[in-house]
Structure 1
Amino acid sequence: MPRSEARTLVGYAAQGFLVIWSNPKALLFFGAFIPQFVDRTEPVWLQVAVLGSIFMAVATVLDGAYAVLAGRAGRLLTRARVRLVERISGGLLVVGGAALAFARR
C-alpha cells in the first residue's frame, strides 16, 4: 500500500486481528487461561466466544491507551532531551560500574 493512502479503521482492525491470531503467545494464552472459566454443562463455544471478546475489548482499550500515551510522549522527545537522558543514564552506568569494580566482598 502506498504511504499516501490513508488506512481505514476497518483496515487497522483487520491488521490487528491477523497479528493477534498469528501470535503464538496469544494462542497459548487462550488455550491455557480461558478453559479454566468454561462450564462444560453449558455451550462451550458461546462461553469461549464471550470470554475471548471480553479479553479483546480490554486489550483494545489498554493498547489504545498505550498508543495515545506513546504518541504524546513522542512529541516531548526532542533530540536535545534524548541526548541529555543518554548522557545522564550513561554517567549513572559508569558510576555503577566503578562502584562494583571497587567494591569488596
Structure 2
Amino acid sequence: MKTRVGLNDFVARYSGEEFAIIFTEKATEEIFEILERIRWQISQSKYEELNKQSVTISIGFSEYRPGTSKETLFSGANQSLYKAKMTGKNKTDIHTAPLKEAK
C-alpha cells in the first residue's frame, strides 16, 4: 500500500486485519482509482503461505468534507467497509457524508 500512495499520505494498521490510509491533496476520483489499483494488485498476488493462492480485500472509503470530525470520518469508512463486505466483498465502497454530518 505504501508504494501506491503519495509522500504526504499516511498508511497505518488500524486494528487486527484493518488498515487506514489518510490521503492528502487528492480528489475523490483520484483516491478511488488508487484504492482500486491497490485492491486489484492484492487480488493478483499469490502467497506461498496459502499454497500460492490469492486473497481479496474489501475497502471502505469515507469522503472528507470541511468540518467533519475524525469520529464521523472513521464511522463513514467503517460503514462503507461493512457494506462492501456484505454486498459481495472484493470491492471499494465510498461513504459520502451529507453536509449536515460535517461538524
TM-score range relative to shorter protein: under 0.3
Q: Which has the larger radius of gyration?
A: 1
**Taking structure 2 as the reference length, what is the TM-score of the superposition?**
0.28
**Taking structure 1 as the reference length, what is the TM-score of the superposition?**
0.28
Q: Counting helix residues as a fraction of each chain, which structure ranks higher?
A: 1
Q: Counting strand residues as a fraction of each chain, which structure ranks higher?
A: 2
